Amino acid sequence: MSSPCVSSIIGTGSYMPEKILTNEDLSKIVDTSDEWITTRTGIKERRIAAENQATSDLATEAARRAMESAGVKPEEIDLIVVATVTPDMPFPSTACFVQRNIGASNAVCFDISAACSGFLYALQIARNFLNAGTRSTALVIGAEKLSTLVNWTDRNTCVLFGDGAGAVVIRAVDSATDAPGRVLSTIMGSDGNLVNLLRVPGGGSACPINAENIDSRLNTIHMEGKETFKHAVTRMSQASEKAL
């Protein structure tokens, strides 16, 4: 009887747009300063994608670099999962655009939406496919063009977000093999009671954007900063302990 499969990260890649938006630049847009941002967040600068760059473009560049790192060809990839809350469009999936761009014709493609934790969700989903033996080589990408959701008049949120993408290639290996990069443990969780802490309230089926509400900026990021921070730190600590 053969040993069950486990997943191993065999290549990584990332991409950041060229444009840099510094804290000093932001101080000219909203009432803030480099000192205020740095002491509260540690952030000095963020990258902003060009107007003609879509999320799939960022994802594609990261994917190509991960594939080069892993030494795999496009036809070897049989699963592409993109984690994003800024897809190119509601459908088809951003993963399908990546598939077309890199020529991975054998891949099953879909997106998942889990905001900040999206990449971790995508990694676990792909890992389950590989461990079950239904797929063998997956491309997992976290990509965002959050500059399209930022309210540039809100100093509490506009300082936090930027654009970019990261990708890994994971491959199913025999569990008896001591492969480097093995994914040893993952912990996932959700709490629907906290949906109002960090959200984009407009633009979906519950609140479509129309002429009456477009000036309310409902299609931008709304965040309860202190509560989000408190829950994030607590839950990440708990998850780390469980994973260990």
Among residues 106, 161, 174, the alpha carbon closest in space to that of 138 is found at 106
Residue 1 clears pLDDT 50, i.e. is over it: no
Q: Which two tokens stand for residue 111?
A: 């997106």
Does residue 217 surpass a pLDDT of 90?
A: yes
Average pLDDT (188-196) is 94
For 15, what's the count of Cα atoms within 13 Å in the CB-facing half-sphere? Answer: 25
Would you say residue 187 lies in a domain? Answer: no
pLDDT tens for residues 76-92?
A: 999 999 999 999 999 99
- Region of 107 on the Ramachandran plot (φ > 0 left; ψ -120 to 50 alpha; else beta): beta
Q: What is the pLDDT of residue 152?
A: 96
> 151: buried, middle or exposed (CB in 10 Å: 19+, 13-18, 0-12)?
middle
- Distance, CA of 97 to CA of 109 (rounded, Å): 9
209 and 162 co-located in one domain: no
When pLDDT is cut at 50, 70 and 90, the band that residue 180 belongs to is: confident
Percent of the chain with pLDDT over 90: 91
Cα dihedral across residues 36, 41, 43, 49: positive or negative: negative
Residue 24 lies in a domain: yes
| Assigned domain for 120 exists | yes
* pLDDT reading at 208 higher than 90: yes
Q: Is pLDDT above 90 for 235?
A: yes
Q: How many domains does the chain have?
A: 2
225 and 151 assigned to the same domain: no
**Residue at a domain's end among 142, 174, 206:** 174
Task: Return the DSSP state at 208.
Answer: -
Residues 139 and 239 in one domain: no
Please give the residue range of the domain that contains residue 214: 192-243
Looking at the domain assignment, is residue 182 inside a domain?
Answer: no
Is pTM beyond 0.75? Reply is yes
pLDDT for residue 169 is more than 80: yes
Under DSSP, is residue 63 helix (H, G, I), strand (E, B) or coil? helix
Q: CA nearest 225: which of 148, 163, 154?
A: 154
Query: Mean pLDDT, the chain, as a whole number?
Result: 95
**pLDDT beyond 60 at 150:** yes
pLDDT tens-place string over residues 109-137: 999 999 999 999 999 999 999 999 999 99
The reported pLDDT for the residue numbered 176 is: 62
Say which residue the tokens 């060009």 belong to: 50
Position 186 in a domain = no
Considering the domain boundaries, does residue 221 fall inside one? Answer: yes
Same-domain pairing of 213 and 161: no
What average pLDDT score do residues 183-195 get?
92
Is the pLDDT assigned to residue 31 strictly greater than 70?
yes
The C-alpha angle 152, 220, 147, rounded to 5 degrees, equals 55
Q: How confident is the model at residue 3 (pLDDT cuts 50, 70, 90)?
A: low
Mean pLDDT of 153-168: 96
Q: Clarify whether residues 103 and 132 are in a common domain.
A: yes
